[in-house]
Structure 1
Amino acid sequence: SWLTAWNNVFTGLAIAALALISMRPGMGWAQWANAALGVWLLAAPLVFWTPDAAVYANDTLIGALVIALTILIPMMPGMAREGMADEGDIPPGWTYCPSTYVQRLPIIALGVVGFLLSRVLSAYQLGHIGGIWEPFFASPTALNGSEYIVTSDVSRAWPVADGGLGAMSYMFEILMGVMGSRKRWRTMPWMVALFGIVVGPLGVISIYFIIIQPIAIGTYCTICLLAAAAMLIMIPFSLDEIVAMIQFLVWNTRRGRPFWRAFFRGDALPGSETGGTMSFDASPTALFRQSARGVTVPWTLGLSAAIGTFLMLSRAIFGNDMPLAGSDHLVGALVLTTAVIAFAEVARPLRFLNVLFGLWLVVAPWFLDGGTVAGSLVGILAGLALIALSLPRGRRSAEHYGSWDRYVL
């Protein structure tokens, strides 16, 4: 569209001008301004509902490159020199560094998967493709389940294509995943916090919209489910770095250092150790073990996740009807989400939420209509099993997390 074309012209001129300004010493603000323009380029095709797929792809690529070339590769301006000079990369009391590139590799890989899936959805919403692959789910109309979902009133409630918003979120996760060194838990706390917000709360919100699909819309979207699965699996892999960042800010403030200065500029931390590196030349098995440090799957949590998945399918298996069918689906999705997040040892106490969900499953058939005899009985048994499975902590690795060890219950 002409709006997108003129936007690209003026944005390109602004990027070139700011790039020249940022070459002068003391002009770090120009780098941040250029990064903001990169974010705008990612969003502009959605704001203007561009009908041209090439323009959308071009703006996405250039926007990501602008962000990378302004603050990712040359590093962010204003970082504390003492923090960068300190070589400590393992937090005090920890047995490993939570910020190595190997640790971030699963998050980056899953971000790429989620980005590609979300781009398919946004391409259909913007009219760039004529259909969406959907092997399983149908709809009350001539559209398949995926097409019906992304053109529903829930999706249209957003002022822009919500598939494109998902693609932007995944792109941010990819860029933030590769940003910074293995010391970033203390040299870039604000970025780790922002990364945690994108992966954590925003991830849970995106999963929530997947949860309500069969309840509010009446069908599923396969690509949406795959993208939500990628987002969910990211969360346990990201939590250890967030805990290390919080510990750093607490410890640093206790020794009299300004909180906000350390939050935005980073700092050194006495007591941190070195040695948190690992070569990508290691064997695939060694790389996988390193990337999964701090994440374990006890059989109790694995079975809890399976129960959650089973509950989401109970309507199709037992013929339950609303409102009990909706309750089982909602609780099943919450159980699955809670169990997977609790795979992270630093988040292991979160599993106790499944005790509450189990109690609701036990009493729900007595308060809600729509359940068959078999469906209601299985729901009660699933609730009792969930309560029993959520009480023990399960197997824990030999890793330690400093003062956070006391919370790994």
Structure 2
Amino acid sequence: MSDDRHDTTDEPTAVTTDARERPSRADGGDENRDGTDGQDGDDGGSMRPGDMMLAHPTEEVWPQYAIISLGLWLVASTPTLGYESTLMGWNGIVSGVVIIALAGLTIYRESGYANYANGFVGLWLVFAPIAFWAPTAAAYANHTLVGIMVITFSVLIVMRSEMEGPAVPPGWSYNPSTGAQRAPLIALGIFGFFASWYMAAFQLEYISSVWDPLYGTGTEQILTSKVSEAFPVSDAGLGAVAYSVEALMGFMGDRRRWRTMPWMVAFFGVVVIPLGFVQVLLVISQPIMVGTWCTLCLLSAFGMLWMISLTVDEVVAMGQYLVRLTRQGDSLWTAFWMGGTIPEDEAGVDEATERPIGESPIGEPFWGVSIPWTLLAAMVLGAWLMLSPTLFGTTGFMADTSHLTGSLIVSFTVIATAEPARAIRFLNVPLAGWVVVAPWLLTDVPTIAAINATVAGLLVVLLSVPRGPIADRYGGWERYATLETVDRLNPLSS
């Protein structure tokens, strides 16, 4: 991914080149000297990105031999490692044979579909240990690692091939799909995977205790609670699967994937944004449903909120491009799976949408995200509301109100740091309004706690009204993302 993060003299990019050079090189790639706009002749120029990705596994076959080796390892290691489970044993052997067969079809029948089918087999291997409640850590680890490696060779390596054409969306001041933009998402996904994997080891009884520096046995209480036991599989293991998918999808595709792989960006957005927020809600409910917190759960949830914030811009760019293709006559189905390109002269980053970044763009991973002091203060107040029941001795429904609303205020505020999602901050207003009135409607609320809630709620309302600065351009989306009409009428908006 170094080509996405560092300046080079051979291939200046729209997101890492000094702003003075950008107007002439907005595409982020080499200009074709023969004037064919980056197309590889007539045949290559007629192929859409989706067709190219189907053809690539049959043209570069060395990953298939690595996949065959992984299949052989899975078949051979299953009886050797002592899985202690008939289902896990047969699953390992059958999956290994299927992996070998699909790789063989890719090589000898030149089937791109067979290659990508192996990606689904790899995903199944990651999920199988929790589906079958693998009785040994060796079975869990072996299936997971082999599955991840199969996905890497069958999907990631193939989809890292560089596509032609502009890299910056029309009307945008930066590219939301660069390697640097995705680096924080990958890092947070990897952290979430290992944290969830560790907790899954406790639920599957590979280890007898779980480390929790803040809440003692809180993590163990949550992992053995009725809420966790209501899931048919280990909920921590399910989280590990989700995080592994998020981290792997962060690696998929090149810096043009917002237009070459709309399907992948859409699936990535679904996994991170709605499903990620569901996970956050489950963590938020822990003190209400179980009566305690979990340190690793809180860290993972907080990381997930930032993943949501960092993902919004790429999803918006992809959505805008799908709208563009459908208006040009493509069906949504074709546009979604095949992607496309745009004319060089319509790429983003021109004199009107120029983002000066200097020679060392260390802030590039966080373009599209800004933290005005108002949002930062709202986060602090949300965290304060979460802690206030402990500090003021509040119990019952008022304590639950403080826990829940405080957590949601933090959640919505973090998401609102994404400039394309800045309007999310307004969701804090009704939450804070309830915090203001709740202590006066409920009984047995200490006076000091009621005053604290009222003051904190009023401050959150005031802090959620100003928009804060918007540093970048998003092809017109900023009008909707910031509710521009509302902001024009808002005397507190900056």
TM score, norm. by length of structure 1: 0.92
**1:8-407 correspondence runs (5 A):** 8-24=92-108, 27-75=111-159, 86-138=164-216, 144-270=217-343, 271-273=345-347, 286-397=360-471, 399-407=472-480
Where does structure 1 lack aligned partners over 5 or more consecutive residues? 139-143, 277-282
SS at match of 1:383: helix
Superposition CA RMSD, Å: 1.9
CA apart distance, 1:314: 1.0
Deviation by residue 1:89-108 (Cα, 9 ceiling, x = unmatched): 10110011100000000000
Q: Aligned residues: percent identity?
A: 46
CA contact (8 A) 1:75 1:180 kept: yes
**In structure 2, what residue type is equivalent to 1:101?**
G
Where does structure 2 lack aligned partners over 5 or more consecutive residues? 1-84, 351-356, 483-494
CA apart distance, 1:300: 0.4
**In structure 2, what residue type is equivalent to 1:44?**
A
CA apart distance, 1:255: 1.6
Q: 1:85 to 1:72 in 2, by over 3 A?
A: closer
TM score, norm. by length of structure 2: 0.76
Using the alignment, how far apart are the partners of 1:131 and 1:312 within structure 2?
27
SS at match of 1:120: helix
Of 246-255 and 27-36, the range deviating more from structure 2: 27-36
CA contact (8 A) 1:90 1:275 kept: yes
Using the alignment, how far apart are the partners of 1:226 and 1:262 within structure 2?
37
Residue 4 of structure 2 aligns with which residue?
none
Using the alignment, how far apart are the partners of 1:156 and 1:242 within structure 2?
34
CA contact (8 A) 2:125 2:143 kept: yes
CA contact (8 A) 1:184 1:192 kept: yes
Using the alignment, how far apart are the partners of 2:126 and 2:295 within structure 1?
25
CA contact (8 A) 1:323 1:369 kept: no
Using the alignment, how far apart are the partners of 1:180 and 1:404 within structure 2?
24
User: Structure 1 residue runs of 4+, over 3 Å off?
Assistant: 285-288
Deviation by residue 1:220-248 (Cα, 9 ceiling, x = unmatched): 11111111111111111111000000000
Deviation by residue 1:261-316 (Cα, 9 ceiling, x = unmatched): 1101111123543889xxxxxx9x94530111110000000011111111111111
Residue 141 of structure 1 aligns with which residue?
none
SS at match of 2:422: helix
Deviation by residue 1:308-336 (Cα, 9 ceiling, x = unmatched): 11111111111111101101110001100
Residue 279 of structure 1 aligns with which residue?
none
**In structure 1, what residue type is equivalent to 2:328?**
R
CA contact (8 A) 1:248 1:269 kept: no
CA contact (8 A) 1:99 1:185 kept: yes
Residue 6 of structure 1 aligns with which residue?
90
SS at match of 1:288: coil
CA contact (8 A) 1:108 1:178 kept: yes
Using the alignment, how far apart are the partners of 2:437 and 2:371 within structure 1?
29
Using the alignment, how far apart are the partners of 2:163 and 2:442 within structure 1?
62
Q: 1:125 to 1:361 in 2, by over 3 A?
A: same
CA contact (8 A) 2:386 2:407 kept: yes
Deviation by residue 1:73-116 (Cα, 9 ceiling, x = unmatched): 1239xx9xxxx864111011001110000000000011111111
CA contact (8 A) 2:378 2:463 kept: yes
Using the alignment, how far apart are the partners of 2:156 and 2:163 within structure 1?
19
Using the alignment, how far apart are the partners of 1:208 and 1:405 within structure 2?
27
**In structure 2, what residue type is equivalent to 1:168?**
V
CA apart distance, 1:254: 1.2
CA apart distance, 1:59: 0.9
Q: Report which of the two structures shows the higher radius of gyration computed on alpha carbons.
A: 2
The count of residues paired between Structure 1 and Structure 2 equals 390
Using the alignment, how far apart are the partners of 1:218 and 1:286 within structure 2?
47
CA contact (8 A) 1:324 1:365 kept: yes
**In structure 1, what residue type is equivalent to 2:435?**
L
CA apart distance, 1:389: 0.6
Using the alignment, how far apart are the partners of 2:105 and 2:462 within structure 1?
62
SS at match of 1:403: coil
SS at match of 1:394: coil
SS at match of 2:302: helix
Using the alignment, how far apart are the partners of 1:32 and 1:369 within structure 2?
60
Using the alignment, how far apart are the partners of 2:481 and 2:97 within structure 1?
52
Q: 1:25 to 1:16 in 2, by over 3 A?
A: closer
CA contact (8 A) 1:358 1:384 kept: yes
